[in-house]
Amino acid sequence: MQNNDPRDQMPGPGRDMRGGFKTIVAAMIALLLGGLMAKHTVDYIAMVAAMSYPPEIVDLFEIAWTLLCYPFVFFAARASVLFAVTAAGVYLASRLM
């Protein structure tokens, strides 16, 4: 029986080198910069949340924001690495022609 699932044909981090490279580099950047982003922005988030919510809820916002900073940085880094790899490939191709 033939498997016609389109997900099996899609490239993923384990199926192509470029996708794996983007994911690994983005994960490293997220681990390095996610905490830094949270540290510099959590006070602003707490200040905005304190205008509308009680202190117990503001504490939850701070925790949630700290946890959300890592995926934000990861996906921004992955898009940036994708752009950088593509630009480097185009540059090398134009230089070698």
71 within some domain: yes
Q: What is the pLDDT of residue 85?
A: 83
Which residues of the chain are under the pLDDT cut of 50?
none
Predicted local confidence at residue 25, as pLDDT: 92
Is 26 among the domain residues?
A: no
Asked, for residue 75, whether it belongs to a domain, the answer is: yes
Give pLDDT, residue 77. Answer: 94
Q: How many domains does the chain have?
A: 1
pLDDT of residue 66: 95
Residue with tokens 């490239």: 11
Domain presence at residue 15: no
The answer to whether position 28 is within a domain reads no
pLDDT for the residue 82? 84
Domain range spanning residue 71?
Answer: 35-97
Burial class (CB within 10 angstroms; exposed 0-12, middle 13-18, buried 19+) of 22: buried
Q: Does this model's pTM top 0.85?
A: no
Q: Residue 21 is inside which H or E element, if any?
A: helix 17-50
Q: Is residue 17 part of a domain?
A: no
